[in-house]
Chain A
Amino acid sequence: MDWEALALSLKLAAATTAALLPVSVLGGRALARGEFRGKRLIEAALMLPLVLPPTVLGYYLLVAMGAGSPLGEAWESLFGRPLAFTFEGILLASILFNLPFAIQPAQRGFEAVAPELREAAACCGMSPAAALWRVELPLAWPGVTTAMALTFAHTIGEFGIVLMVGGAIPGETRTVAIAIYDRVQAFDLEAAGAMSATLVAVSLAALYLTHRLGARAPAGAR
């Protein structure tokens, strides 16, 4: 059992989820509310990670983060370490790769809030920020928690893109999913099985917890 890999997976999932929470709320709400130019294109682009093989996205990210790229160079001059094949690199890839999971359920959640309630909030003297916090977010909460759970569970289970962008550096980029692959390659089926079971348990726990939380979230958000 590779505890280091499991810890890294959890760290990556937690960091990705935390980074995507504000994106989920603000992006989901903007897409639910606004009718603006390019909205359909943005929605389509957000779906891309669902249909493209992780290798394609991984390839582009690797090129974009590489030492010769503007992003890679800028990063290295700023932080003194490269982006590709580091934890920061797989975190960035994971954030991009999880956008559809983080935004879509939240968007559905905000769409379910009647526009009149937002107007009523304004008529009660609530600023748009106050209306978001006190009226919209509590009602869209099940959508947002679903988004966060999917992001968390999906990050833990991600394999291809992490391998492409991060390789399999122990303690840096070798997550459980990659460790399992390594173990299988080494014919260590016992370790692979233990880790696989752990992964199933963690993911199931994350999803179950969210369903519980979502069910207990403020009522009336249907």
Chain B
Amino acid sequence: MTLEVEARLDGPAALDAAFAAAPGSLLALVGPSGAGKTTLLRAIAGLTRPAAGRIAAGGETWFDARAGVDVPAHRRRVGMVFQSYALFPHMSAARNVAAALDLRPRAAAMAEARRLLAQLGLGELAERRPDRMSGGQRQRVALARALARRPRALLLDEPFSAVDRAARAQLHARVAALRDELGAPIVLVTHDLNEAQLLADRMAVLAEGRIVAQGPTDIVMADPAAMRALGLREAAALLPARVARHEADGLTRLEAAAGPLWLPRIDAPEGARVRVRIMAHDVIVSRARPEGLSAANILPATVLEIRPGEGPGALVTLDLAGDRILARLTRRAVAALALAPGTHAHAVLKAMSVARDHVALARD
């Protein structure tokens, strides 16, 4: 059930983008606001009509400008979670979900809707109306409603922006699980790169209506074109690791390929595999193994690539026993340390600089 999208639109919200998303994968559409992320999502759902292009999902053509095909939104099997959730305010949670089910009789649809809500931990709220629910609960009802459609593509438009941190972590886990269960591609529009990087298999970066970079998440995040669109402050890499031990002093010891790593307490069981988002500006590089340093995380590294920026900075790609991380250094530091591809060095990371929500469970 692959989703193929190619869409062009003229006018103030110009768009010229093409991408594909495989079943069982999550593609994050990221970019600054006004870049056309939501417009692209709406084009897939059939709510905005592109001037040209082609959109197909699961072998079914939904839009083809050349062939004159434009399947109306209600005939596209698409699950859409709107930014505002757009729940029907006059219906209970269960009726909202049942509204997206093709089931007759009504009693069967309501039973199925309650089952879907229970799966998302909302079994007890099935008869409640949206105006008496929290943001996180509404978000889950919207998700259940989108899933009820048995979509060929699940589209999520900034679904986490209006929920608090605790609810967000839960929902992240839910979406990560969905990715494996759904059998249809998920497209997530977000401006939160952390969220995108932790959840997405692939990433497409939109700027002014064009895709400036796309591919596997870790590669896009290290792509200079993507970096320009997203801002260097966001440069980061994902380091895979395993949770080894929750220590008594509140730290968690992780095992990465290059060695141990201590981070503030992580909400994952011992033995779990995680991805840690390491911000490039949090990484210090040292030629010799530093002694007497407060930072405990010192991993042997090899310089792979050095990209000088336009300003005083440079982006250094480091190899950590097969994993890659990025470090933002000054060009002066690069020269002083005589860093070059192949140089052996050490990457130093301050434990407290990794935010708790920069760690996510990895997929198996």
Residues of chain A at the chain B interface (Cβ within 8 Å)? 114, 116-117, 119-128, 130-131, 134-135, 138-139, 218-221
Contacts and interface: CB of A to CB of B under 8 A. Distances in A.
B88 A116 contact: no
Interface string B135-170: 000000000011011000000000000000000000
Contact of B129 (A123, A127, A139, A219): A219
12 contacts: A117-B88, A119-B47, A119-B80, A122-B47, A122-B72, A122-B74, A123-B100, A124-B145, A127-B74, A134-B99, A219-B131, A220-B89
B88 A126 contact: no
Contact of B46 (A114, A122, A139): A122
B149 A124 contact: yes
Does more than half of chain A's interface fall in helix, strand or loop, or is it mixed?
Answer: helix
B10 interface: no
Given A123-B78, A124-B74, A221-B90, 13 more contacts: A116-B86, A117-B88, A119-B47, A119-B86, A121-B74, A122-B74, A123-B73, A123-B80, A126-B99, A128-B74, A138-B90, A218-B90, A220-B131
B19 interface: no
A10 B358 CA distance: 70
A125 B100 contact: yes
Contacts, number: 74
Contacts of A219: 89-90, 129, 131
Interface in B62-105: 72-75, 77-80, 82, 84, 86-90, 99-100, 102
Nearest to A127: B74
B106 to A, nearest CB: 12
Interface of B: 45-47, 72-75, 77-80, 82, 84, 86-90, 99-100, 102, 129-131, 145-146, 148-149
Contacts of A220: 88-90, 129-131
A135 B129 contact: no
B116 to A, nearest CB: 13
Contact of B73 (A119, A130, A221): A119
Contact of B80 (A120, A128, A138, A139): A120
Nearest to A218: B90
A130 B73 CA distance: 13
Of A114, A116, A120, most buried by chain B (CB within 10 Å of CB) is A120
A35 to B, nearest CB: 15
Nearest to B146: A123
